[in-house]
């Protein structure tokens, strides 16, 4: 490695370089294979230099999980920017599509933010705030969607609506990613359109499920009491 590149790391870029190398590793490997020493070798520095920025692998992964949620939130917001003049209902649909798209386009980050949880003592305020951003975004847009139909919600009802919509899209995404839907399709219980290999058909199915979710929220929520 050139002296110039090493010098740039000493001016604060090494922390970012290690995290970027970690994200690249996650896209091709598994969480348990992540190694701070291996990442240091990849970016061309000594393990000691890496440990100057992260006390251990756990500290690195907490930072990566925080950054992963931030990238996820940016992905969702970017999708909304493309439909900024759309109705709140269409924005809810856009969020659902973007959620699933992120899971398939960035599986390593998705697995990190939703399938790995650090020990309690490693949790940080930054991680908690990053993890909550997507929910806040969804809750606000769902509330706007229902206001169009004259449905005003209290905080409990808004939270139930957000939880319900989030659970539906997240559940669909996991069932597809883990191969469960493929197994059901293979056994002949569902038509081939449900196969995870048929992304175009999946998009239509997601639209149908979003329609059920949205109509359900409109009909049930006004009567939901805390």
Look at residue 63 in the predicted model and tell me its pLDDT: 96
Q: Are 162 and 139 in contact (CB under 8 A)?
A: yes
Number of H helices and E strands in the chain, helices first, is: 11, 0
Alpha-carbon distance values, 144 to 91, 97, 158, 217 (Å) = 10, 18, 10, 12
The answer to whether 22 and 58 have CB atoms below 8 angstroms apart is no
**pLDDT for 68-87, tens place per residue?**
999 999 999 999 999 999 99
Q: Who contacts 53 (Cβ-Cβ below 8 Å, separation ≥6)? A: 14, 15, 18
Query: What pLDDT score was predicted for residue 3?
Result: 41
Surface-to-core class of residue 128, CB atoms within 10 Å of its CB (0-12 exposed, 13-18 middle, 19+ buried):
exposed
Write down all domains in the chain, each with its CATH number in brackets: 1-54 (1.10.10), 58-223 (1.10.357.10)
The pLDDT of residue 103 is 95
What per-residue confidence (pLDDT) applies to 2? 41
Q: pTM of the predicted model, to two decimals? A: 0.90
The model's pLDDT over 170-216, given as tens digits with 9 standing for 90+, comes to 999 999 989 999 999 999 999 988 888 888 888 889 999 999 999 99
Higher pLDDT, 201 or 142: 142
């Amino acid at each position: 490695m050139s002296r110039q590149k090493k010098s740039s790391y000493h001016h604060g870029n090494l922390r970012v370089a290690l995290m970027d190398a970690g994200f690249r590793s996650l896209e091709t490997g598994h969480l348990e294979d992540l190694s701070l020493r291996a990442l240091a070798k990849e970016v061309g520095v000594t393990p000691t230099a890496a440990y100057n920025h992260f006390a251990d692998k756990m500290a690195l992964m907490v930072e990566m999980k925080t950054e992963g949620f931030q990238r996820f939130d940016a992905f969702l917001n970017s999708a909304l920017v493309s439909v900024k003049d759309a109705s709140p209902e269409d924005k809810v649909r856009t969020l659902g599509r973007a959620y699933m798209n992120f899971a398939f386009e960035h599986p390593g980050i998705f697995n990190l933010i939703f399938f790995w949880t650090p020990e309690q003592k490693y949790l940080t305020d930054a991680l908690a705030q990053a993890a909550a951003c997507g929910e806040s975004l969804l809750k606000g847009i769902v509330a706007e969607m229902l206001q169009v139909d004259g449905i005003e919600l209290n905080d409990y009802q808004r939270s139930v609506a957000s939880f319900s919509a989030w659970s539906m899209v997240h559940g669909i995404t996991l069932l597809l990613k883990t191969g469960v839907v493929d197994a059901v399709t293979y056994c002949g219980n569902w038509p081939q359109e449900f196969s995870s290999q048929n992304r175009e058909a999946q998009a239509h199915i997601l639209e149908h499920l979003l329609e059920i979710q949205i109509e359900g929220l409109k009909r049930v929520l006004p009567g939901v009491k805390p």
